[in-house]
């Protein structure tokens, strides 16, 4: 099952300001999808994207906690 993060969660995960997400989505090909007015991010896709970029150090403990909290 996929673990999805909201914009505030992915900002915390990537240790960036939430306002910084828009340019990352638009200019840096950050993977996301939109449901209604909400942006959602697959944690596995964000990890691959962050590793490929090289400069981003996601908070691995945050990802583990998000996966643990996801209902089955």
Residue range 39-56: average pLDDT?
87
Please tell me the predicted confidence (pLDDT) of residue 61.
65
In a domain, 31, yes or no: yes
- CA 34, CA 38: separation in Å to the nearest integer? 6
Report pLDDT for 51: 85
pLDDT in tens, 16-42: 898 999 999 998 889 999 999 999 999
Q: Which domain holds residue 37?
A: 4-53+65-69
Residue 67 has a pLDDT of 57
Domain CATH number, residue 39: 1.10.1660
List alpha helices for the chain, DSSP H. 7-14, 21-27, 43-53, 60-69
Nearest to 25 by CA among 36, 14, 64: 14
In a domain, 21, yes or no: yes
């Amino acid at each position: 099952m996929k673990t999805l993060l909201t914009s505030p969660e992915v900002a915390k995960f990537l240790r960036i300001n939430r306002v910084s997400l828009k340019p990352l989505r638009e200019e840096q090909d950050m993977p996301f999808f939109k449901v209604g007015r909400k942006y959602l991010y697959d944690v596995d896709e964000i990890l691959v994207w962050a590793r490929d970029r090289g400069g981003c150090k996601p908070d691995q403990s945050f990802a583990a906690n998000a996966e643990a909290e996801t209902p089955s």
